[in-house]
Amino acid sequence: FEFRGDVTKGMRIHYTSEEAYTVFTDKFVLLQYTGLKDKNGKEVYEGDITKSNGFMGVVKFINFMWMIHRLFADGEVEEYVIISDYTVEVVGDIYRNPELLKEEKK
């Protein structure tokens, strides 16, 4: 298994004239690699926000499969199995770019 850690959530780097150290104040999130790359060759991880065939969604592991989960403003949900990594483009992730999903729900 391969993972990517989200180091933007709760991590602080402190510098002094003599040393630098990192303090984790919240939590460290690990995201699992799907084994796929997007159409630009970027690795696709759980929690990535993708754009594919004109819609955006979140990569999730559902029913033993990697799927793109799309939530609409009215609460409706669509899920698509990732069968081809050539149509998917990673545009962000749910931790660093949650605003991308808010735009999609409009």
Closest listed residue to residue 68, CA positions, set 103, 94, 99: 94
Half-sphere exposure of 95 (CA within 13 A, CB side): 16
pLDDT at 48: 94
pLDDT at 91: 95
DSSP assigned state of 103: H
pLDDT at 28: 64
pLDDT at 84: 63
Please classify residue 45 by burial: count the beta carbons closer than 10 Å to its beta carbon, then call 0-12 exposed, 13-18 middle and 19+ buried.
Answer: buried
pLDDT at 74: 77
Spatial distance between the Cα atoms of 23 and 45, rounded to a whole number of angstroms? 25
pLDDT at 17: 62
**Tens place of pLDDT per residue across the chain (106 aa):** 666 655 455 545 555 566 665 555 556 677 888 988 999 999 999 999 999 877 889 999 988 889 999 877 777 888 888 766 678 899 999 988 989 887 665 5
Tell me the domains of the chain and their CATH numbers.
33-105 (2.30.30.290)
